[in-house]
Structure 1
Amino acid sequence: MTVLASALDAGSPDFAANRDAMLGRLAELDAEHAKAVGGGGPTYVERHRGRGKLLARERIELLLDPDSPFLELSPLAAWGSEYPVGAGTVTGIGVIEGTECMVTANDPTVRGGASNPWTLRKALRANEIALRNRLPLVNLVESGGADLPSQKEVFIPGGALFRDLTRLSAAGIPTVSVVFGNSTAGGAYVPGMSDHVVMVKERSKVFLGGPPLVKMATGEESDDESLGGAEMHARTSGLADHLAVDEPDALRLARRIVARLRWDKRGPAPSPYAPPPRYDQEELLGIVPGDLKVPFDPREVIARVVDDSAFDEFKPLYGTSLATGWANVHGYPVGILANAQGVLFSAESQKATQFIQLANQRDIPLLFLHNTTGYMVGREYEQGGIIKHGAMMINAVSNSRVPHISVLMGASYGAGHYGMCGRAYDPRFLFSWPSAKAAVMGPQQLAGVLSIVARQSAAAKGQPYDEDTDAAVRAMVEQQIESESLPMFLSGRLYDDGVIDPRDTRTVLGLCLSAVHSAPVEGARGYGVYRM
């Protein structure tokens, strides 16, 4: 075991400046999270409470084991769009009767819980996590169905929600629906396709078409209860498996259903020896510089995240701008790839490829800590084979079968984002720090490239080049790319699973590692063709 020695000076001006910048970003993040927690606003929250109903997060709190953690996912979904922050739904991983489950809850204070395009994307991501990690899915339902003004973006892809429920069930992963209010139109298929259904007396309403639609379609007069009430479904249609007297009773029944699943974890158990890091996690606030062009040592992060700050580095003298090695987090073994100086050269790419293969042979999950500007460019590096060596690393990441978890700490640009297992490479989980940025390249580089291309075009046509226009365009492009590479923008589009406080990194990783071990942890035994 090799305990990392820290060279971090928590009393330095640089540390203080980094910490202040991070705390400022965290304050901005808290303000956006408050919008999601606030739901549809005070008026609609009070109206909902006036009907004797619990809020979405209150339902989740009663559902979960007392004092157990809840890892909320995609809380900033829809940020920067025309829809409310949070997308009118809450998703996350929590413990019910000792069993880790994926939990989703409609927020009925936001347009009656109706699904907009971002609600759909968020729910589909939750279903994907449940399927890949073998987590029982519990849906807390109260939704009027699709948000009709956005139906063109919801209706066709929305069918995947029902597909996912049937695929989860077919894979032997339990699905539970607890219906608190409306579950109408397409939403009626959520309980209809779940393994277990709980409805609340005089509250639940589940029908393909409500009384007005039935009247228009068939001329039949009907009322909510006879058409789709909880007692009707419990006594007549058989859609309800359990009839609850009120919301707390419904959540009690859901907990009993999960308890009776006798669900087991298929991955290896963690080591009982999991001492905390030897360094203060508060110090994670001051490691990443405000200017991402300034390098930082990711080992300072690793030392404050892994068990006992122990890290057995692999090839420490080769490909030194990428740190690779073995560690434990909350008793779970992990292989870590962490960018040290930003740029990935041929040596780093080959080192990463070998390391990823070793992790797959040993069935060890991989943790990617991002701070990369991408693969090195230039004549020397092109002639040295950077394309084929970068392709080797991307091949290894693409075909690796052990669980991957990515954390964006700093820059994550270009193909380096891919090689370090960005969103398109299907990590089980991906989180960002408030300091992170992700884009095809840095704002100044991208604006500069466009400027060079424009100059060459003007020269080829024999036209004069307008320097004032060039400066204005460059400034505009830099501002656009800067805003589009920030973590809240990316998280709003579900390009990560949430922006987290750096101090929570170890806890978040522990929850994720526990979740991925609900499924078997098995590595790939073969790869595609590598260009040598």
Structure 2
Amino acid sequence: MTALRSTLDTGSPEHLAAAEAMRDKLAEIESEHAKAIAGGGPAKLERHRKRGKLTARERIELLIDPDSPFLELCPLAAWGSDFQVGASIVVGIGVVEGVECMIVANDPTVRGGTSNPWTVRKSFRANDIVMQNRLPVISLVESGGADLPTQKEVFIPGGRMFRDLTQASAAGIPTIALVFGNSTAGGAYTPGMSDHVVMIKERSKVFLGGPPLVKMATGEEADDESLGGAEMHARTSGLADYLAVDEPDALRIGRQIVRRLNWRKQGPAPRAGVREPLHDAEDLLGIVPADLRAPFDPREVIARIVDGSDFDEFKPLYGSSLVTGWAELHGYPVGVLANHRGVLFSEESHKATQFIQLANRANTPLLFLHNTTGYMVGKSYEQGGIIKHGSMMINAVSNSKVPHISVLMGASYGAGHYGMCGRAYDPRFLFAWPSAKSAVMGPAQLAGVISIVSRAAAEARGMPFDEEADAGMRAAVEAQIEAESLPMFLSGRLYDDGVIDPRDTRTVLGLCLSAIHNAPVQGTENFGVFRM
């Protein structure tokens, strides 16, 4: 056994200060999560309950297996925009009758569950996860369709949501729609394109155009029930496969549908008899310093998330700014790449490239733990081929076929973000700790670069350089980049799948690995040309 030994001093002033800073950041994140949970606010929620309806999260809780976890994804979508935090939709992975499913629930307390531009983007992210990991989809539908004031940003791209549903069905991935209320216009196509549809008597209303639109378009007088009621669709149109008496009954029928799917995972099963890490997850709060310029040893993180803290390190004496090695997590084998002292050199790039190739040969998923300022710059490094070598690592990441998961713990700057499988490189899942930052470079460095370029431009024109204006510019740029590199800003734009408590990292990764193994796990030998 090669269990990692921890040298972390949890009583040191540095650790205690870092833990306190992390708790403060977690409190900020929790307050933003509370906004998503609050939906449309107390008045809208009260009106919703007076109609005898459950909230989106209550529906999910009754749908999933008792006492099972629900991994909510992108809960901060739309943060910092003009729209409600959460983007009027709840998405996540839950276990229904023992089957991991992607659950997509409209929040009808937010503008009637209509889809705004961020709802569309969040739905796309959910559908990507469905296709990559072969997760059955359960849509809990109550939507007025497109948010009309923003239709120019919703209508054209939003059609992909329905295309995705039909493509999932064609790929053999079951799609189930439970309709809880109005499902109008574009919202009607979710049940229309799902494999299985449940409607609720006297509650579900599914039509392309409601009575007012029908009156305007054709002059025909029609009421809700005859036009799109649940009984009409169950008895006449055939759109409804099942007719439920109330919301709990609809959820019961939905569970019954999943139970009859005869669903089987296509990836290998985890090892039985999983061992917990030897070291306390509580310590993870204080590992990342508040000042990301200070280094930390990622082995202290690995020791608190992998089974038995057992880690077989690969090339420990070579390219020491990148820790690589093999472990298991909740019984699933993983290859781990974790930044140590931030900067990636040529040696780290070679090491990562070989390791990624080996993981593909062994059909082993990869876990990337980010804390990097990027690839090293400077004359000697450029002459030594850092561009070629960094490109090798990015080539390997780009063409690797085993599943990737990324966790941003600290800095994730520049091309190092790409080499460590940032969002643009399609990791199956990507999460951030509240301590993380991501940008083209650090705020001070970016402001300094702009200052140097401006000074050189002034000299070239033979004009005096305004030092006072430069100082103001640098301060403004640093503040802007600092704000735009923080997790809430990035999570609001769906550049991650959620900002998580470091103590939950092992659990979150275990849920993701289990979901990943619904699909086959298979590597490749086909990489691009490596410029040696």
- Name the structure 1 match of 2:9: 9
- Name the structure 1 match of 2:310: 310
- Name the structure 2 match of 1:270: 270
Task: Give the secondary-structure state (helix, strand or coil) at the position aligned to 1:226.
Answer: helix
Q: State the one-letter code of the partner of 1:25.
A: K
- Name the structure 1 match of 2:222: 222
- Name the structure 1 match of 2:345: 345
Q: State the one-letter code of the partner of 1:90.
A: V
For residue 274 of structure 1, report the CA deviation from its aligned partner: 1.3
Task: Give the secondary-structure state (helix, strand or coil) at the position aligned to 1:108.
Answer: coil
Q: Distance in 2 between matches of 1:382 and 1:367?
A: 29
After TM superposition, the structure 1 = structure 2 runs for residues 444-523 of structure 1, keeping only pairs within 5 Å, are: 444-523=444-523
Task: Give the secondary-structure state (helix, strand or coil) at the position aligned to 2:260.
Answer: helix
Identity across the alignment (%): 77
- Name the structure 1 match of 2:28: 28
- Name the structure 1 match of 2:79: 79
Q: State the one-letter code of the partner of 2:191.
A: P
- Name the structure 1 match of 2:176: 176
- Name the structure 1 match of 2:210: 210
- Name the structure 2 match of 1:115: 115
**Gaps in structure 2 of 5+ consecutive residues:** none
Q: Distance in 1 between matches of 2:169 and 2:444?
A: 49
Provide, for residues 277-315 of structure 1, a one-character-per-residue CA deviation record: whole Å limited to 9, x for no partner.
000000000000000000000000000000000100000
Task: Give the secondary-structure state (helix, strand or coil) at the position aligned to 1:369.
Answer: strand
Task: Give the secondary-structure state (helix, strand or coil) at the position aligned to 1:363.
Answer: coil
Q: Is 2:429 aligned against 1:425? A: no
For residue 496 of structure 1, report the CA deviation from its aligned partner: 0.1
Q: Distance in 2 between matches of 1:205 and 1:376?
A: 59
Provide, for residues 437-480 of structure 1, a one-character-per-residue CA deviation record: whole Å limited to 9, x for no partner.
00000000000000000000000000000000000000000000
Q: Distance in 1 between matches of 2:431 and 2:503?
A: 13
Q: Is 2:193 aligned against 1:193? A: yes
For residue 177 of structure 1, report the CA deviation from its aligned partner: 0.3
Q: Distance in 2 between matches of 1:112 and 1:20?
A: 40
Q: Distance in 1 between matches of 2:473 and 2:223?
A: 61
Q: Distance in 1 between matches of 2:155 and 2:430?
A: 28
Task: Give the secondary-structure state (helix, strand or coil) at the position aligned to 2:84.
Answer: coil
Task: Give the secondary-structure state (helix, strand or coil) at the position aligned to 1:434.
Answer: coil
Runs of 4+, deviation exceeding 2 Å:
none
Q: Distance in 2 between matches of 1:196 and 1:388?
A: 51
Q: Distance in 2 between matches of 1:66 and 1:189?
A: 31
For residue 524 of structure 1, report the CA deviation from its aligned partner: 1.1
Q: State the one-letter code of the partner of 2:318.
A: Y
**Gaps in structure 1 of 5+ consecutive residues:** none
Q: Distance in 2 between matches of 1:162 and 1:10?
A: 51
- Name the structure 1 match of 2:242: 242
For residue 525 of structure 1, report the CA deviation from its aligned partner: 1.9
For the aligned residue pairs, the C-alpha RMSD in angstroms reads 0.4
Q: Distance in 1 between matches of 2:283 and 2:431?
A: 19
Q: Is 2:413 aligned against 1:413? A: yes
Q: Distance in 1 between matches of 2:266 and 2:101?
A: 14
Q: Distance in 2 between matches of 1:452 and 1:48?
A: 57
Equivalent pairs counted in the alignment come to 532
After TM superposition, the structure 1 = structure 2 runs for residues 340-379 of structure 1, keeping only pairs within 5 Å, are: 340-379=340-379
- Name the structure 2 match of 1:404: 404
Q: Distance in 2 between matches of 1:186 and 1:429?
A: 28
- Name the structure 2 match of 1:138: 138
- Name the structure 1 match of 2:382: 382
- Name the structure 2 match of 1:160: 160
Q: Is 2:99 aligned against 1:99? A: yes
Q: State the one-letter code of the partner of 1:203.
A: R
Q: Distance in 2 between matches of 1:47 and 1:219?
A: 32
Task: Give the secondary-structure state (helix, strand or coil) at the position aligned to 1:243.
Answer: strand
Q: Distance in 2 between matches of 1:360 and 1:416?
A: 21
For residue 226 of structure 1, report the CA deviation from its aligned partner: 0.5
Q: Distance in 2 between matches of 1:230 and 1:410?
A: 51
Q: Distance in 2 between matches of 1:273 and 1:469?
A: 64
For residue 119 of structure 1, report the CA deviation from its aligned partner: 0.6
Q: State the one-letter code of the partner of 2:183.
A: S
Q: Distance in 1 between matches of 2:327 and 2:348?
A: 19
For residue 528 of structure 1, report the CA deviation from its aligned partner: 1.0
Q: State the one-letter code of the partner of 2:479.
A: Q
Q: State the one-letter code of the partner of 2:206.
A: V
Q: Distance in 1 between matches of 2:10 and 2:274?
A: 26
Task: Give the secondary-structure state (helix, strand or coil) at the position aligned to 1:261.
Answer: coil
Q: Distance in 2 between matches of 1:48 and 1:341?
A: 52
Q: Distance in 1 between matches of 2:290 and 2:186?
A: 47
Task: Give the secondary-structure state (helix, strand or coil) at the position aligned to 1:90.
Answer: strand
Q: Distance in 2 between matches of 1:416 and 1:236?
A: 58
- Name the structure 1 match of 2:279: 279
Q: Distance in 1 between matches of 2:411 and 2:186?
A: 41
Task: Give the secondary-structure state (helix, strand or coil) at the position aligned to 1:446.
Answer: helix
Q: Distance in 2 between matches of 1:399 and 1:183?
A: 41
Task: Give the secondary-structure state (helix, strand or coil) at the position aligned to 2:326.
Answer: strand
Q: Distance in 2 between matches of 1:294 and 1:258?
A: 49
Q: Distance in 2 between matches of 1:128 and 1:190?
A: 17
- Name the structure 2 match of 1:292: 292
For residue 169 of structure 1, report the CA deviation from its aligned partner: 0.2
Q: Is 2:438 aligned against 1:438? A: yes
Provide, for residues 6-35 of structure 1, a one-character-per-residue CA deviation record: whole Å limited to 9, x for no partner.
110001000000000000000001100000
Task: Give the secondary-structure state (helix, strand or coil) at the position aligned to 1:258.
Answer: helix
After TM superposition, the structure 1 = structure 2 runs for residues 37-52 of structure 1, keeping only pairs within 5 Å, are: 37-52=37-52
Q: State the one-letter code of the partner of 1:260.
A: R
Provide, for residues 69-125 of structure 1, a one-character-per-residue CA deviation record: whole Å limited to 9, x for no partner.
000000000000000100111000000000000001000000000110001111111
Task: Give the secondary-structure state (helix, strand or coil) at the position aligned to 1:26.
Answer: helix
Q: Distance in 2 between matches of 1:447 and 1:274?
A: 48
For residue 262 of structure 1, report the CA deviation from its aligned partner: 1.1
- Name the structure 2 match of 1:323: 323
Provide, for residues 377-403 of structure 1, a one-character-per-residue CA deviation record: whole Å limited to 9, x for no partner.
000000000000000000000000000
For residue 273 of structure 1, report the CA deviation from its aligned partner: 2.6
For residue 201 of structure 1, report the CA deviation from its aligned partner: 0.5
Q: State the one-letter code of the partner of 1:483.
A: A
Q: Distance in 2 between matches of 1:465 and 1:230?
A: 73
For residue 186 of structure 1, report the CA deviation from its aligned partner: 1.2
Q: State the one-letter code of the partner of 2:233.
A: H
TM-score (norm 2): 1.00
Provide, for residues 401-427 of structure 1, a one-character-per-residue CA deviation record: whole Å limited to 9, x for no partner.
000000000000000000000000000
Q: Distance in 2 between matches of 1:118 and 1:403?
A: 26
Q: State the one-letter code of the partner of 2:481.
A: I
Task: Give the secondary-structure state (helix, strand or coil) at the position aligned to 2:232.
Answer: helix
